């Protein structure tokens, strides 16, 4: 078997509408680089015709390979399954919904040949709704503000990496992965390339808001301890304001006692106490929720369950 130069990893879940055009454009783009390539489709328990289409691609082109997972594990798990089996000197990760443009891969490869170890797409001209674009932009900036590792802004999973970076990624066995963040964590020489984010073809988005929020939490809690410190900050700020408030009330009482001010000026009543209780009760619940997110992730790590389970592999894999 000839040595593979470029591997492409694509997580797939119900993408039958996109796959024929994707596979055609992807193979054409790769053949402009090398004849020694592999396309690894990771079937994440698709319920449409996606698996059948991938099998037909494999029958026509033995460069196409398939990893069929035992159930729907999720995008990050599917990517990890593909990375663990990719044997190329250079590995591409991309979505399978044609929002990532296959024709950008030769551009990435040129940058790799200039000496870069990781080339990632910086998304521009996204075709999503205004609200979704706004949320994505806000997320990347909050993540970069909180993270102890610099995270490229507006960059997703679409990227090309040298084998050295891929090997380091594969060593990270944590259970709540944010692959784009781990790619930044491994370091090496990295550069972003502007890439237009295409519109989905005849298919609705698979990542709904709850799953996107879950991924956002994984990203933030995996790369920052700052949320844990919010409770401390809130407590200190609250204690300071309570001290100031109590001092103010005591001062009013003293002034009223010596008839310097009228007694009716003194703040009285239950509403003040209730407001303070609601504020601090809310801060306590927020702090407990943040702690719970971290504890839940610790629990996932302790269980040591497989990150994904492969039902079968179709094709000849040089690395398993």
Please compute the mean of the pLDDT values over residues 160-172 and round it to a whole number. Answer: 89
DSSP secondary-structure letter at 38?
A: E
Q: What pLDDT, on the 0 to 100 scale, is given for residue 244?
A: 76
Contacts of 185 (CB under 8 A, 6+ apart): 149, 223
Is residue 17 assigned to a domain? yes
Same domain, 289 and 212: no
Quote the tokens at residue 20. Answer: 């024929």
pLDDT at residue 199 is higher than 70: no
The angle that helices 75-85 and 209-223 make with each other, rounded to 10 degrees, is: 60
pLDDT given for residue 1 in this prediction: 47
Whether residue 33 is contained in a domain is answered as yes
Domain around 216: 6-224+306-314
Structural domain includes residue 154:
yes
Q: Of 8-22, 108-122, 128-142, 237-251, which gets the smallest average pLDDT?
A: 128-142
Model confidence pTM above 0.85? no
E-assigned strand segments in 163-268: 190-196
Q: 193 lies in a domain?
A: yes
Helix axes 19-31, 50-60, angle to 10 degrees: 30
Signed CA dihedral, 198, 221, 284, 279: sign only = negative
119 and 177 assigned to the same domain: yes
Residues 181 and 237 in one domain: no
Helices (H) and strands (E) in the chain, counts: 10, 8
Q: Are residues 116 and 242 in the same domain?
A: no
The string of pLDDT tens digits covering residues 37-56 is 899 999 988 888 888 899 98
Q: Please give the DSSP secondary-structure letter assigned to residue 312.
A: E
Which of residues 313 and 222 earns the better pLDDT score?
A: 313
Query: Is residue 185 located within the same domain as residue 210?
Result: yes
Residues 23 and 86 both lie in one domain:
yes
User: Is residue 215 domain-shared with residue 237, that is, in the same domain?
Assistant: no
Q: Of 87-96, 167-176, 211-220, 264-273, which has the strongest mean pLDDT?
A: 87-96
In a domain, 1, yes or no: no
Q: Answer yes or no: is 203 within a domain.
A: yes
User: 210 and 82: one domain?
Assistant: yes
Higher-scoring residue by pLDDT: 316, 41: 41
Whether 269 and 177 map to the same domain: the answer is: no
Q: Which of 297, 305, 222, 215 is nearest to 11 (CA)?
A: 215
The whole-angstrom separation of Cα 33 and Cα 52 is: 28
Q: Residue 60 belongs to a domain with what CATH number? A: 3.90.550.10
List, in order, residues 6 or more apart from 6 with CB less than 8 Å away: 30, 33, 34, 36, 37, 38, 88, 89, 90, 91, 92, 105, 109
pLDDT digits (tens, 9 = 90+) for 216-226: 666 666 666 66
Do 205 and 73 lie in one domain? The reply is: yes
Residue 320 lies in a domain: no
List pLDDT tens digits, range 268-307: 555 566 667 767 777 777 777 777 777 777 777 787 788 8
Q: Count other C-beta atoms under 10 Å from residue 7's C-beta.
A: 29
Both 146 and 234 in one domain: the answer is no
Work out how many domains the chain is built from and give that number: 2
Task: Answer yes or no: is 212 within a domain.
Answer: yes
The answer on 63 and 194 residing in a single domain is yes
Q: Mean per-residue pLDDT for 138-144?
A: 67
pLDDT for 209-266, tens place per residue? Answer: 566 666 666 666 666 666 766 666 777 777 777 777 777 777 766 776 666 665 555 5
User: What is 116-153 written as a DSSP string?
Assistant: -SEEEEEEES--S-HHHHHHHHHHHHHHHHH-SS---T
């Amino acid at each position: 078997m000839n040595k593979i130069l470029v591997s492409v990893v694509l997580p797939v879940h119900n993408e039958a509408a996109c796959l024929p055009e994707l596979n055609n454009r992807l193979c054409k783009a790769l053949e402009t680089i090398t004849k020694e390539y592999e396309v690894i489709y990771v079937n994440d328990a698709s319920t449409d015709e996606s698996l059948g289409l991938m099998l037909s691609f494999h029958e026509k082109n033995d460069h196409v390979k398939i990893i069929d997972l035992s159930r729907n594990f999720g995008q990050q798990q599917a990517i990890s399954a593909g990375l663990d089996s990719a044997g190329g000197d250079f590995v591409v990760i991309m979505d399978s919904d044609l929002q990532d443009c296959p024709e950008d891969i030769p551009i990435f490869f040129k940058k790799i040949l200039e000496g870069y170890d990781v080339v990632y797409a910086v998304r521009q001209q996204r075709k999503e709704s205004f609200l979704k674009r706004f949320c994505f932009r806000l997320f990347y900036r909050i993540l970069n503000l909180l993270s102890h590792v610099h995270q490229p802004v507006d960059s997703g999973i679409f990227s090309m990496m040298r084998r050295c970076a891929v090997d380091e990624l594969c060593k990270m066995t944590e259970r709540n992965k944010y692959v784009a963040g781990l790619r930044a964590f491994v370091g090496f020489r990295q550069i972003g390339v502007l890439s237009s984010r295409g519109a989905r073809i005849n298919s609705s988005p698979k990542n709904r808001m709850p799953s996107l929020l879950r991924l956002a939490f994984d990203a933030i809690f995996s790369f920052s301890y700052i949320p844990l410190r919010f409770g401390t900050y809130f407590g200190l700020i609250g204690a300071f304001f309570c001290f100031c408030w109590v001092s103010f009330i005591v001062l009013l009482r003293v002034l009223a006692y010596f008839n310097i001010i009228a007694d009716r000026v003194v703040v009285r009543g239950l509403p003040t106490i209730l407001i303070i209780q609601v504020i601090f009760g809310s801060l306590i619940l927020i702090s407990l929720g943040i702690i719970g997110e971290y504890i839940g992730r610790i629990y996932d790590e302790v269980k040591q369950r497989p990150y994904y389970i492969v039902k079968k592999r179709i094709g000849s894999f040089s690395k398993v």
